[in-house]
Amino acid sequence: MKRSPIFLLTIILLLLPTLACGGISQLPEVDEVAGQAAEAATKAADLAATAVIVAEQAADTAATAAASDQAQNLEATAVAAATAVSTIELPDTNALKEKFAAIQPDENGNITVTVTDDEMNQAIQAKQAAAEQAGQENLVQNMVVTFTGGNIVLTGSITSPIAAQLTVVFRPYVADGILQFEVVSATIGSLTVPSAVLASTESTLNNTLTDAMGYMPANITLQDVSMGEGTMTITGHKQ
């Protein structure tokens, strides 16, 4: 049967809702795909955040390792510096002691030992350096002795009561078997030399020689001391 155009148009209009409904029935599938995409995006974001945290932890670990290496380097430097300081050689302190330790009485029990002012100065400088390292104050700095004119001429610098050059002249002598020192003169500009400074210089001489003479053979009594140019000769007798 032949259908008129109007009839066909009517049929098409009636079918449109059905077609529309059929299209709408496909939306849940679209929503599911969209949900999966959103979930994947969320997971990707979580992974990215995790990656950032891991990167920060790695940076912290690297910084800690670098700090540890730096601390080890500093420690190694400190140890090296301490080793360098410990290996610094002070003036020879043994020459004077060895000289007295090597004394051998002759067949009559007599001993003779000659000390140079160089040997004395080495021992004095070592004592002053040791005192400074121990945190002790040396009242007289740069102390030097010269054996001349029958005396011991000691020079040095002081900073109190004024900054000035000090010169003290000692005459050594032996009394009751003991080496002693008499002050012949002491000058420090136009001022009177403080008693503490004099005591310090005399103590330095006494201690330096007493320490060295402690290495002599036992039971030796000193008898005399004589001065030459640059030398001091001590004689004694073994009891």
Per the model's pLDDT, the better-predicted residue between 129 and 61 turns out to be 129
Question: What does the pLDDT read at residue 42?
Answer: 61
Taking the model in full, what pTM does it have? 0.60
* Residue 143 parent element (H or E): strand 141-148
The arithmetic mean of pLDDT across residues 206-220, rounded, is 91
DSSP 90: P
DSSP 188: B
The arithmetic mean of pLDDT across residues 215-237, rounded, is 95
- pLDDT range class, residue 186, cuts 50, 70, 90: very high
The arithmetic mean of pLDDT across residues 92-120, rounded, is 90
pLDDT digits (tens, 9 = 90+) for 128-179: 898 889 998 888 999 999 999 999 999 999 987 788 999 999 999 999 999 9
Produce one character per residue of 58-95: b if its CB has 16 or more CB atoms within 10 Å, e if not: eeeeeeeeeeeeeeeeeeeeeeeeeeeeeeeeeeebeb
Q: Are 103 and 132 in contact (CB under 8 A)?
A: no
Q: Is 223 exposed, middle or buried (0-12, 13-18, 19+ CB in 10 A)?
A: middle
CA torsion angle 150 237 119 90 (round to 10): -140
Strand partners, 148: 151
* Residue 112 parent element (H or E): strand 110-116
The arithmetic mean of pLDDT across residues 97-125, rounded, is 94
**Reduced to 3 states, what is the DSSP secondary structure of residue 189?**
coil
Question: What does the pLDDT read at residue 229?
Answer: 97
Per the model's pLDDT, the better-predicted residue between 141 and 70 turns out to be 141
